[in-house]
Chains A and B, each alone.
Chain A
Amino acid sequence: DVKVTQSSRYLVKRTGEKVFLECVQDMDHENMFWYRQDPGLGLRLIYFSYDVKMKEKGDIPEGYSVSREKKERFSLILESASTNQTSMYLCASRSRLGSSYNEQFFGPGTRLTVL
């Protein structure tokens, strides 16, 4: 059974704190993604990675950075959390094989509140 896990389901942080969100997949997928989901806006891509140490900016990278040191792990970092980063964060992974038609597998999400 394929699995994408995220380090926390709920997280409360203070403005200015550095926040780490971890995502691990056990499917040996090359591609990993970080999204945020806000009411009325749907899922928006923050960053994605297509290989170890490789990353590309998505639609809303400002205020975020990422790290991919191992194939199975993709971390999202909020360097200095702000209240407008309060959101649901979803990680996903996808195989590159036959890549055009492969689905994404999502983690359970982390609901982050920044006070």
Chain B
Amino acid sequence: KNEVEQSPQNLTAQEGEFITINCSYSVGISALHWLQQHPGGGIVSLFMLSSGKKKHGRLIATINIQEKHSSLHITASHPRDSAVYICAASNTGNQFYFGTGTSLTVIP
């Protein structure tokens, strides 16, 4: 069973396009995380949110607690945004539930 589901699995976009990655979860959470993983492996945290919306530069993350759904949006996409984006849900313990990731390629 997958507690966290992401879509799409793969995404190719032209530079400048608006991109949306979706995440649905089935467990009770205390926070929802969006992570970015570039080729080579390292993972960095983009957002951690428990309600509403957060924005950082061209990236926006939203969460709807009632619907157990979150989205990551990238405005004016750029080739350097090419990476794997991972959604993860955490609870009050040390449990993290990870999605399988969305591989994004932005073509110049």
Contact = CB atoms under 8 A, between A and B. Distances in A.
A105 interface: yes
Interface in B70-106: 86, 88, 90-92, 94, 96, 98-101
Interface stretch (B13-21, B35-43, B59-67): B35-43
Contacts, number: 56
The interface size bin for chain B is 20 to 34
B11 interface: no
Contact of B100 (A41, A104, A107, A111): A41
Contacts of A94: 94
Interface in A82-115: 88, 90, 92, 94, 99-109, 111
Interface of A: 9, 31, 33, 40-45, 48, 50, 88, 90, 92, 94, 99-109, 111
Interface of B: 30-31, 33, 35, 40-45, 48, 50, 86, 88, 90-92, 94, 96, 98-101
